[in-house]
Amino acid sequence: MAALWGGRFTQAADDRFKLFNDSLRFDYRLAKQDITGSISWSRALEQVNVLTSQEQQDLERALNELAEEVSQDPSKILQSDAEDIHSWVESKLIEKVGDLGKKLHTGRSRNDQVATDLKLWCKEQSVELCELLVKLQQALLDLAVREQDTVMPGYTHLQRAQPISFGHWCLAYVEMFERDLSRMRDTADRLDRCPLGSGALAGTAYPIDRHALARDLGFKQATQNSLDSVSDRDHVLELLADASISMMHLSRMAEDLIFYNSGEAGFIELADNVTSGSSLMPQKKNPDALELIRGKTGRVYGSLSAIMMTLKALPLAYNKDMQEDKEGLFDALDNWGDCLEMAAMVLEGLKTNKPRMLAAAQQGYANATELADYLVSKDIPFREAHHIVGEVVVSAISRQLPLEDFTLEQLKEFSEVIESDVYQHLTIDACLAKREVLGGTSLTSVMSALDEQRIEVKQDISSAEVVGGSSEEQVQNAMGNMQQRLNAHKAELMNVRHAKLTDVDAITEIIAHWSEVGETLPRSRFDVLNSILDFSVAVDEESVVGCASLYIYGTGLAEIRSVGINTDHQGVGQGKALVDHMLQRARDLEIQRVIVLTRVPQFFEKHGFTELEKETLPEKVIKDCEGCPKKMACDEIAMEFIIT
């Protein structure tokens, strides 16, 4: 196959150089993105009269045919001797439409072409990886619900420290993967800039509307500087950094579970479908899935280190060194995705050995801190209490007794202030129950944390409000609370529920409709996916017919967003049920104030919202309006609902 750049040369490339130089063996994965970019470029060329309308239609039809062929059998690409995916697509296009295919590259360089292809690929991968992160979080939450009252020892320095619940352990990793999601959202936002139209380095010579081109390709906007556009690989670095941090979290979780699964701990048993046996020792059941997660972490780290070293001294603009950006990225993100999927599978089949875990928590004097706290409650300074308990533990070790088995007389040998009430502080239940602070390991705290993670907890709607008196204010408050519960119950009867991952496409479609008519802000599928825990949906016979989200700005403040009902299901109370449901969620989360920006204030007035000056809204709310297409001519009305 003739090279795209052969006109300058009088000698053919050496076969060894061609093998060394060509990238088709790995960049064939960008075929879909290269075809997509080429279709958009053909439309841009039509707009500046480089292509006629008929020529553009012929090119787009041929490119769509090629995309279909690629999707059916991607391996056909590797049978070619093309230099890279760009030359392969162009050659196949010329086979289909003749010399017309040669016009497509007008004003375009492989430099801005490959930068665009790779960004498109990264955008798609970001969505898939976020889905896998959310699924892993859900697996952890499901396990936390199941094991929220399973007691186990917590460790520092791999020494038994204080008792915790296994549910609390699960929620620790939910927090870690939430940070991974946050980093992915930030990365996706920064890479959402289209470089196409930047040419080789100085921009294209044709009056292309690059912002329209960016929107046609699904980017938020176009890049600003052509030199930076073709040489920027920050998104590769960021994705690899995101992958590396997340793999570190996965590796830590794998190490914990490997230890818990060991014969020495015996806390858990892994399912047969994620373990293997020994070719020599028939009794073995090896945690291979977890060990491979731990092992592949180093492989992902290596990809990050490699690209950082590659880019560290490159001059502007494009250099062939940048061809090294893809193999490591493809390999790292493939492995990250595989590990996220495998980790969720491990958690789904995991079984706990509750008696063994409880026994381990009762050993190692994990209640020593509780004895010290007890002494502090008797007005002994903590440092002195710490010293006293240390002496008690030394004595307990020599007698081979747990602290709770000491007699009162034996304990009084160390301090006269100890009385019989000490024993209620030394039980495992007491150790856990005292940690009722936010983020603590008490059952109450764990249940609260689960609720914060949007785990649906059924409430007893029929329970009566206790009125502490007969004043008019108290009666009104009680009636208001009962009405709130009734509204929540109505929402439940209208089949309003928390959103699931499988609802993402339906929610995106509803929002797209109402954003087109100007009633709500547009939101991409990626945005909906990453904020799925904020959404609730109205369902009619298993079909999602409405949606709304509750966006929390900080303590005490939330905003109802993206309220929309399918046009075929309006007028039957679905919108009202969704808003009632959202207000109840706000109450459950102890939000004091809910705001909304709306063009239908009369609808929200019926729910008790009152109008307020938009200028009085917090700065962080106003900042979120930056991306609104109507920012300079906003016709929305600000309203608020105060929760009492």
DSSP 286: B
Cβ atoms 248, 339 nearer than 8 A: no
**Considering 276, 278, 305, 471, which one is annotated as catalytic?**
278
Contacts of 600 (CB under 8 A, 6+ apart): 519
**C-alpha closest to that of 150 among 140, 136, 163, 137:** 163
For residue 637, give the H/E element and its range. Answer: strand 637-642
**Considering 53, 75, 157, 462, which one is annotated as catalytic?**
157
Whole-number Å distance between alpha carbons of 236 and 537? 35
**C-alpha closest to that of 548 among 532, 570, 524:** 532
Residue 278 annotated to the active site: yes
Q: Is 622 helix (H, G, I), strand (E, B) or coil?
A: helix
C-alpha distances out from residue 184 to 124, 236, 300, 526, Å: 12, 12, 16, 11
For residue 33, give the H/E element and its range. Answer: helix 31-47
Cβ atoms 40, 214 nearer than 8 A: no
Residue 42 annotated to the active site: no
C-alpha distances out from residue 54 to 45, 46, 50, 100, 209, Å: 12, 9, 12, 11, 20
Cβ atoms 122, 236 nearer than 8 A: yes
Q: Are strands 557-565 and 151-156 parallel, antiparallel or unpaired?
A: unpaired
3-state secondary structure 468-484: CCCCHHHHHHHHHHHHH
Q: Is 162 helix (H, G, I), strand (E, B) or coil?
A: strand
Cβ atoms 333, 125 nearer than 8 A: yes
Cβ atoms 351, 388 nearer than 8 A: no
Q: How many CB atoms lie within 10 A of CB 575?
A: 21
Residue whose tokens read 């109802």: 560
Q: How many CB atoms lie within 10 A of CB 623?
A: 9
Cβ atoms 404, 373 nearer than 8 A: no
Whole-number Å distance between alpha carbons of 239 and 243? 6
Residue whose tokens read 């921009």: 203
Cβ atoms 481, 498 nearer than 8 A: no
Enumerate the active-site residues: 157, 278
